[in-house]
Amino acid sequence: MIDAQVLPTPVGELSVLVRDGVLVAAGFTPEPKEMFARLAPAVQAEGLTVIDDLGPASRAVRDYFAGDLDALDAIPAEQPGSPLRRALHQALRQVKAGTTVTYAELAERAGLPRSAARAAGGACARNLIAPFVPCHRVLPSTGGFGGYYYGVAVKEWLLEHESSRR
């Protein structure tokens, strides 16, 4: 069974989905079913239940938005993908709050050549666990904010929230 909770945040409601204590999806939407629909059919077959408290994941979200910028890092997360995509998602989790990297730098951190920036962008676009897997911390080398699944305004807000660390 997949347990879900919708948590209020200053930048909008965040749906968080957990399976056996491990994050499988999270995103800025008030509707957990939107995140659930992005999961693999085998995982969806387990069903979805909305509950009042996910425990550690819920506390981490509250703590992060209250200013503990490392709170999300301790929550285990798992998402599908090729070994390449998994390496990129793991490298994303190593990008600390208050810092940003380019897509080429993310590729390099995952052990790939800088020319694999497009693969890094694809991994960010398919990230199911925002902001725990912080794809908002990746910016284009040409400047600006680039895209973000939940809108550039959310990405900008998250980066501003984390800027106190700089």
Active site residue 135: yes
Query: How buried is 136 (Cβ within 10 angstroms: 0-12 exposed, 13-18 middle, 19+ buried)?
Result: buried
Where b means 16+ CB within 10 Å and e means fewer, 84-116 reads bbebbbebbeebebeebbbbbbbbbbbebeeeb
Say if residue 131 is preceded by a cis peptide, omega within 30 of 0: yes
Q: Which of 135, 138, 139, 154 is the catalytic position?
A: 135
Which are the catalytic amino acids?
Answer: 135
